Structure 1
């Protein structure tokens, strides 16, 4: 087996283990990839004799990372928040870059490297901050919106650095103004062309590709578009990442944005991970250990100074003091694009590898403490704030439930919200409970009566005045969780009606046994509604339709069970014992069952029923046990997949 293959497999194994371990302690995957690179690099395992050979794939990873950033970059949001973005965001970036550039200059760096270092410290982690605030359900709070506006400007601020870094070490005899002028001219030409292509050419290309309905072609076109845009800017003497960002930004305004995001996500995640692995491979203990005190004090100093700068920038634009402090604690880390700038700076000999290694280590440490800082940002902000501008620790305001006669909706997803709207049309009061912080935050902003909490907790149900409710509706399709909620409700009240929605009827008996008053299987009820419409347009009287539907419900949807499996029927380990298959068996002269009754087959033992027998020109539905099977008959049996197989063997050979 080739050594290179073993090295790659080892790298992937280390990466998987690192991501798993970091996820267990709630740290972002970026840190895991950096750690994996550190472990397989020269400092420890030294798996690659020529690690620079991986940098080509890493650069492609940067291309897809910037392309996806462009897709997510929202021009309408930028315009809507322009006062904060170009006010507070610009102020933070200028002050932070200036402050850290001055510090770097005092430490002996020349002007150009000092500015790059300042830019690296000026950026924050969009991925970590947005993910953390979204999971906490605080993305729409004023303090988080301050942070988002700064992050939006930082995303824009990356572009000038991507243009400038390749130009810094150009020959001096050409003159700095000439170099900058040429770069600006090239940038204008490239941006103009990509704007034109994004508005007129790419939509037509993707429309034609989408019309072919070929997934592979759509994915391939997306990849080629990103790489062509990156190649164009590179050919003009600019960075690969700039072209990818611009192409993504253009396609981000098209109708194909979400499909493109979905298609490139696997490539982006894998290649982006590879990029951060290569960054981690550049970390060397021989470089880091002698400077541990600089790294430690540098990390603490950066965190404190960035919090203070955000607070100062926010005060200039008269933002709420406590919101400003809280936003500062959210944004005081170094960003993932700082690593990209460090990588480009080393590639173009703007920074030495040892310097970049120290800066990246500071960035890693700052990212490691970010989840803790975001989670406690309000508490820290309140400590630093005097007066009555303090914030409450909870992100969800108290909502008073109706006094009595209301419906409690457990789960406020698609079904729960639909039920709420229909209840509202009849002026029936309701109270919703949901465990998704984002959904609760959005619903509260829309003035919906909802509280955050676990529906299986008695205290949460008491907060919704369950003692005085007229009914409870469980709308989520999670049987175990629903059973827990039903049992908790039954401990409070034995008579309160509980209506449970489930997607399929696999767990009807379980839910009824737990104490549900009515279980509504979504798929079966949908089929009944469809059939009722067919009956109606076929001239069946309404009264007869209603009787048929009621009878089917009482019989637990017996006639809706069982399907003839096909090539596309999905059978998995989880559902093989829940599916109901139908199977047609032709009875030959030599079949064991020929001349015997259905009762003699003892199919009940196998949990299988004979639904129908086809004989010559007649059909016998649900034949009795005394029915004698003859050669030439076709038996249609129904049951679980494995039991159908056993029943067929019994019918044909008697075993």
Structure 2
């Protein structure tokens, strides 16, 4: 008979943390590296998964089991998105969901069916294959939109609308699989109606719970529960709603989204989002790792001709449909192209559809394996396509030739960098009537700025030819407001050497950078957090009852002391610090 000590050792030995350590190590190595070289986090996760999977170092052999667990990341992601979508806002999107979404999905299915038919596959199998590819990867699109900050932007909202319609479409598509199966026509109308009623009942139960039960539950837990209990409750709501929808034959992701929408007007919304976020990020990363592991190189090698034809055929045809539908709905060329490239891949719901079709005998196991490889390859290619598009835009969007004639329109002020700081700086200058020539090297930032009516030129402000083409020799003033410290220093150094009479004002990232800019000859520099910090300190002193005059004098003394320390760091006793002193009253 085993002793208690032996049992304890056996229980301890049953848990192996090594796989978790390997997954975390792969993520923390690959993702920062890929983001650093400009390839994005999604591609980093995919590459890490391939590296540690069965065709890399071989640490994992069952990628599908990891994907099934990690699909919870997609579920939690949609729950967080739902928290941002008030019911009124979702209702306002109904035209985009059932108009734009339905048209894009319907046309894409009609076009993609013929890829399989052209290769000699049966019409039923071709329909399932094309339909699965139409279902875009929610994980990839949402991750890219989140990284760009475009989830609440009109262009992002339209993509979200299409994804929501695709989530709704998975239900009738799975029912259609059963109908297309051998003997599927024998399924009675009553059976189909019953499955529809079950789905509607699940939605109704979720709406009732969200409307009358969830907020009182969180109020009760906030009064008597510990912080970890609130986190547990947030996970319970997100995953419980997903399970409820799945039991009604609907998408788990759709259930989580609806739960988020129902809680979007709750006073606990921000707390829920903060509690869910760490789990969402980890599980979504785990999903991409699993997709990278699932890339079966053996199947690709054995069926390379079919896959070589199918991947570009599906992606190109889907891009053409998405672009045409976007143009039909009055999107401009840039937005239409961006949507087509971002949504060109197949998605994670295709795995569910193909597995169901295989179990019903519509697809053979070999066809299922080929289609799964096609979907995964399309998901891997999407970040690469977006990178190439970004590079092409950066190289082609603006050159010296593009800036020909700018001198004739050149503003009296040249603003380099139109990020968060540049946008704030521009407002009072434009309100006063000054004309600005704005240069920015982030193509996405330029596109967003143009959506709000700003005319921004693409270009690297540290390049002398770009500065010359932008009319720096005729500018009354140059403001360097970029967020790259080294680049801003190069711009100031070049301008003070080549155009010493043009005043140059610069944004400093921190104290050492401020010293660098002073040495480079900037006529004025200011740390980006300095005035906001003083403003908060002034508000704090006011709240404490200090007199306005005392507050002003105290802040001025503090500013003088800071500038004197900065002068000492500059190591130049002749430097006059008064020109750096805002509001100096001697």
> Normalising by the residue count of structure 2, what TM-score does the alignment of the two structures yield?
0.72
CA contact (8 A) 1:233 1:239 kept: yes
3-state SS in 2 of match to 1:499: strand
Question: In the superposition, relative to structure 1, how do residues 149 and 508 fare at CA in structure 2: closer, same or farther (>3 Å)?
Answer: closer
Mind listing any 5+ residue stretches in structure 1 that lack a counterpart? 381-391, 562-576, 579-655
Distance 1:91 1:516 in 2: 56
For 2:468, the equivalent position in structure 1 comes to 462
CA offsets, 1:197-245, max 9 Å, x none?
A: 3344445555666789976454333211111112223444555444223
Question: In the superposition, relative to structure 1, how do residues 192 and 393 fare at CA in structure 2: closer, same or farther (>3 Å)?
Answer: farther
Distance 1:538 1:176 in 2: 82
CA contact (8 A) 1:91 1:313 kept: yes
Match runs of 1:102-113 below 5 Å: 111=124
Q: Is it true that 1:220 corresponds to 2:229 in the alignment? A: no
In structure 1, which of residues 363, 366, 369 is the aligned counterpart of residue 378 of structure 2?
A: 366
In structure 1, which of residues 514, 518, 522 is the aligned counterpart of residue 520 of structure 2?
A: 514
Distance 1:52 1:373 in 2: 26
CA contact (8 A) 1:412 1:434 kept: yes
Q: Aligned-pair distance for 1:487?
A: 0.5
RMSD over aligned CA atoms reads 5.2
CA offsets, 1:365-417, max 9 Å, x none?
A: 3334435655777999xxxxxxxxxxx96399979578788333333344433
Q: Is it true that 1:489 corresponds to 2:499 in the alignment? A: no
Q: Aligned-pair distance for 1:350?
A: 7.4
> Normalising by the residue count of structure 1, what TM-score does the alignment of the two structures yield?
0.65
Q: Aligned-pair distance for 1:511?
A: 2.2
For 1:606, the equivalent position in structure 2 comes to none
Distance 1:6 1:518 in 2: 54
Question: In the superposition, relative to structure 1, how do residues 362 and 31 fare at CA in structure 2: closer, same or farther (>3 Å)?
Answer: farther
Question: In the superposition, relative to structure 1, how do residues 410 and 323 fare at CA in structure 2: closer, same or farther (>3 Å)?
Answer: closer
CA offsets, 1:623-653, max 9 Å, x none?
A: xxxxxxxxxxxxxxxxxxxxxxxxxxxxxxx
For 1:158, the equivalent position in structure 2 comes to 167
CA contact (8 A) 2:82 2:264 kept: yes
For 2:281, the equivalent position in structure 1 comes to 269
Q: Aligned-pair distance for 1:51?
A: 6.8
CA contact (8 A) 2:296 2:373 kept: no
3-state SS in 1 of match to 2:478: strand
Distance 1:479 1:395 in 2: 23
User: Larger radius of gyration, structure 1 or 2?
Assistant: 1
Question: In the superposition, relative to structure 1, how do residues 464 and 326 fare at CA in structure 2: closer, same or farther (>3 Å)?
Answer: closer
Q: Which has the higher helix share?
A: 2
For 1:598, the equivalent position in structure 2 comes to none
CA contact (8 A) 2:342 2:386 kept: yes
Match runs of 1:195-234 below 5 Å: 195-206=207-218, 216-234=228-246
CA offsets, 1:454-490, max 9 Å, x none?
A: 3322233334433333333344565433321211210
Q: Is it true that 1:294 corresponds to 2:297 in the alignment? A: no
Distance 2:528 2:325 in 1: 53
CA contact (8 A) 1:124 1:151 kept: no
CA contact (8 A) 2:64 2:294 kept: no
Distance 2:483 2:244 in 1: 50
In structure 2, which of residues 70, 74, 82 is the aligned counterpart of residue 58 of structure 1?
A: 70
Distance 1:37 1:404 in 2: 50
CA contact (8 A) 1:129 1:374 kept: no
For 1:394, the equivalent position in structure 2 comes to 397
Distance 1:149 1:527 in 2: 38
In structure 2, which of residues 191, 195, 214 is the aligned counterpart of residue 183 of structure 1?
A: 195
3-state SS in 1 of match to 2:256: helix
CA contact (8 A) 1:282 1:353 kept: no
Q: Which structure is higher in RCO with an 8 Å CA cutoff and minimum separation 6?
A: 2
Question: In the superposition, relative to structure 1, how do residues 506 and 53 fare at CA in structure 2: closer, same or farther (>3 Å)?
Answer: closer
CA offsets, 1:306-358, max 9 Å, x none?
A: 34544666788798899877865554432344345446667898755543321
CA offsets, 1:589-645, max 9 Å, x none?
A: xxxxxxxxxxxxxxxxxxxxxxxxxxxxxxxxxxxxxxxxxxxxxxxxxxxxxxxxx
Distance 2:338 2:63 in 1: 41
Distance 2:187 2:372 in 1: 32
3-state SS in 2 of match to 1:494: coil
For 1:334, the equivalent position in structure 2 comes to 346
For 1:445, the equivalent position in structure 2 comes to 451
